[in-house]
Amino acid sequence: MAQHDDLTAAATAWRDDDPDPATRAELQALIDGLPRTAAELKDRFAQPLAFGTAGLRGVLRAGPNGMNRAVVRAAAAGLSSYLDSAGRTGPVVIGFDARHGSRDFAEETAAVVTGSGREALLMPKLLPTPLLAYAVRALDATAGVMVTASHNPPADNGYKVYLGGADGRGGQIVPPVDRGIEAAIRAVGPLADVRLGHGWRIIDESLVESYVDAVAALVDADAPKDLRVAYTAMHGVGAETLARVFAKAGFRPPDSVPEQHDPDPDFPTVPFPNPEEPGAMDLVRALAAKTGADIAIANDPDADRCAVAVADPARGPASDPDSWRILRGDEVGVLLADHLIRLGRTGTYATTIVSSQMLRSIAEKAGQPYAETLTGFKWIVRAGEPLAYGYEEALGYCVAPDLVRDKDGISAAILIADLAARLKAAGATLLDRLDELARVHGRHQTDQLSVRVTDVAEIAAAMARLRAHPPAALLGRPVTGNVDLLPDADVVTLRADGVRVVVRPSGTEPKLKAYLETVELTGDAMTRLRGEIGTALGL
CB burial of residue 303 (10 Å; 0-12, 13-18, 19+): buried
Q: Burial of 284 by CB count in 10 Å (0-12 exposed, 13-18 middle, 19+ buried)?
A: buried
- Sheet containing strand 255-256, edge to edge, reads 255-256, 229-232, 295-299, 306-311, 324-326
Contact 27, 63 (CB under 8 A): yes
Nearest CA to 311 out of 195, 403, 430 is that of: 430
For residue 21, give the 3-state DSSP assignment: helix
The 3-state secondary structure of 278-292, one letter per residue: CCCCHHHHHHHHHHC
Q: Which of 80, 81, 116, 150 is catalytic?
A: 150
The question of whether 150 is a catalytic residue gets the answer yes
Q: At what angle do helices 409-425 and 129-138 cross, to 10 degrees?
A: 100
DSSP-assigned letters across all residues of 28-62:
HHHHHTTTTTHHHHHHHHSSPPPPBTTBEEEEB-S
Distance separating alpha carbons of residues 270 and 234, to the nearest angstrom: 8
Question: Rounded to an integer, what distance in angstroms lies between the CA atom of residue 372 and that of residue 328?
Answer: 19
Q: How many CA atoms lie within 13 A of 282 on its CB side?
A: 9
Residue 132: how many other CB atoms lie within 10 Å: 29
Angle at 423 between CA 418 and CA 233, to 5 degrees: 40
506 vs 376: CA distance, rounded Å: 11
Tell me the CA distances in angstroms from 430 to 280, 295, 334, 335, one per residue in order: 21, 9, 11, 8
**Residues with catalytic function:** 150
